[in-house]
Structure 1
Amino acid sequence: MGERGRLRLHPDEEPVPAASAEELLGRVAAGDEPAFAALYDLVAGPVLGLVTRVLRDHAQAEEVAQEVLVEVWRKATRYVPERGSALSWVLTIAHRRAVDRVRSHQAVLDREERVGRMDVRRPFDEVTESTLATLDQQRVRQCLAQLTDLQRESIVLAYYNGYTYPEVAEVLKVAPGTVKTRIRDGLIRLRDCLGVDR
């Protein structure tokens, strides 16, 4: 750090005035590399923290965090201030990337497990299982369609996209207590619609 409130990357570079994440992201969208360095310093910690909570593996979390920050650099022009804070936008990218990594890892494990069982399973079993899974998915979609918009959006974000309740509240622009209530009520309606025993 050079002067108070200013960031100096190298001695020969001009200092970047202290700025908000929104201002920095606007400059990044215009290709300003020093602004990106300042934004990086501002958001790298929260990004790594969120990704680590999702992945629970520090080495993978660091890798995904770097991918997120590269994506922020590449897609800075897509940030729309009216839709939320710059940090929220960056953390949404981080969460999506982390969840994608978890799903990708799980898909590999599932594929390996299927390959390991292929010689003992009959094709009929696979067709039956696939058909039943499709019917279950259709029932869930039909039941989700019967929920209110807020219930459905809250449940999809929390259970299908892996968002925490506070993150769902921020995305939907409602109070966290409202999210908890809508999810609870929606899950009760889903349980009744699907005929699941208590």
Structure 2
Amino acid sequence: MHSNDRGGHVRQDAAGPELDRLMVSAAEGDREAFAEVYDVTAAPVMGLVRRILRDTAQSEEVTQEVLLEVWRTSGRFRPERGSAMTWIMTLAHRRAVDRVRSAQASQDREHRAATLSEDTPFDEVAEQVETRMEWQRVRSCVRGLTDIQRETVVLAYYGGHTYKEIAQSLSLPLGTVKTRLRDGLIRLRRCLGGKA
């Protein structure tokens, strides 16, 4: 079969080696070669994307995205690894699946937001009590630290000071401050029920 029709364009039934050659030319910046790649591949890409998305408008949009990606990334095509059509259809499949996943994630987020916004009874008193109990537990654990550990933990986490600032404030070497803070945090973690 001859690979060109009367207008000089690649026929769809001759997309194999001729399409590979056109892709290589497109990668070198040949816009006419890419126009032919577009003509040959637009319908098959649209067909694949449409089967996955089942929505004409989205399928058209994704098809355009895929063909734009083919133009932008044509330099990555390697004929020795497979045919141009396989490469393009793989891009199309991935892009369509990504769109489905994105739409599903969006629906899931909307569903969660709707579920959260429903009038669920909320017990503010219980939350306040729970918060107060957590604070009391933390305070109790902080009181259980040695004076040196407590001082560095309070300066770092309640005062927002850096290691260097704590070292200067307490007139201690930086390494000593780091060791005291680490030891204090290990004790706090144990006290609060975490792993050491």
Range class of TM-score, shorter chain: 0.5 to 0.7
User: Structure 1: where are the runs of 5+ without partners?
Assistant: 9-14, 124-198
Task: For residues 80-109 of structure 1, give each alpha carbon's deviation from its aligned partner in whole angstroms, at most 9, with x where no partner exists.
Answer: 112211000000000011011111111111
Cα distance in 2 for partners of 1:5, 1:105 equals 40
Query: Normalised by the size of structure 2, how large is the TM-score?
Result: 0.53
Aligned twin of 1:147: none
Equivalent positions of 1:112-191 (< 5 A) are 112-119=110-117
Aligned twin of 1:24: 22
Instruction: Flag the 1:16–1:66 CA change in 2: closer, same or farther, 3 A.
Output: same
Cα distance in 2 for partners of 1:93, 1:36 equals 16
Task: For residues 39-72 of structure 1, give each alpha carbon's deviation from its aligned partner in whole angstroms, at most 9, with x where no partner exists.
Answer: 1111111100000000001111011001100000
> Residue 22 of structure 2: SS of its match in structure 1?
helix
Cα distance in 1 for partners of 2:73, 2:121 equals 47
> Residue 31 of structure 1: SS of its match in structure 2?
coil
Q: Kindly provide the amino acid, as one letter, of the partner of residue 72 in structure 1.
A: V
Cα distance in 1 for partners of 2:78, 2:35 equals 20
Cα distance in 1 for partners of 2:32, 2:6 equals 9
Aligned twin of 2:102: 104
Cα distance in 2 for partners of 1:122, 1:73 equals 54
**Superposed CA RMSD:** 2.5
State the 1:119 CA deviation.
4.0
Aligned twin of 1:132: none
1:47 to 35, 45, 48: 45
Cα distance in 2 for partners of 1:99, 1:5 equals 33
Cα distance in 2 for partners of 1:87, 1:52 equals 17
Query: Normalised by the size of structure 1, how large is the TM-score?
Result: 0.53
% identical aligned pairs: 51
Instruction: Flag the 1:85–1:117 CA change in 2: closer, same or farther, 3 A.
Output: same
Asked whether the 8 Å contact 1:7–1:38 carries over to 2, the reply is no
> Residue 89 of structure 2: SS of its match in structure 1?
helix
